[in-house]
Structure 1
Amino acid sequence: MLYFNILASAKGFEGSVLTNNSRGIRNAWHLWYALVLVIKVVFSGFGIALLTP
């Protein structure tokens, strides 16, 4: 992904499909990791609540 961004900026592909696709991929990965983090925090909170008397 970084290679595509460097390639796009080096050749001056302003607004090209390549940069738009790499931006979409970056946003999708960011969303995925954010959702995983939220799920981990929620379930760890439930785990701590279940372990406390």
Structure 2
Amino acid sequence: SRGTANAWYFYYALVLVITVLCGKLVVALSAP
């Protein structure tokens, strides 16, 4: 259904945002 598709889209978008934020955090912590 359409609602399920929207839920999956939101889930993938959330995972993408978290991945980017974690990546930025790792870079910030690893920088001297």
Shorter chain as denominator, the TM-score bin is over 0.9
TM-score normalised by length of structure 1:
0.59
Q: After TM superposition, give the deviation of residue 40 of structure 1 in Å.
A: 0.4
- The higher relative CO (CA closer than 8 Å, separation ≥ 6) is in 1
CA RMSD of superposed structures (Å): 0.4
Unaligned runs of 5+ in 1: 1-21
Number of residue pairs matched by the alignment: 32
1:40 aligns with 2:19: yes
1:49 aligns with 2:28: yes
Greater radius of gyration (CA):
1
TM-score normalised by length of structure 2:
0.93
Instruction: Report runs of 4+ in structure 1 exceeding 3 Å deviation.
Output: none
Which structure carries more helix by proportion? 2
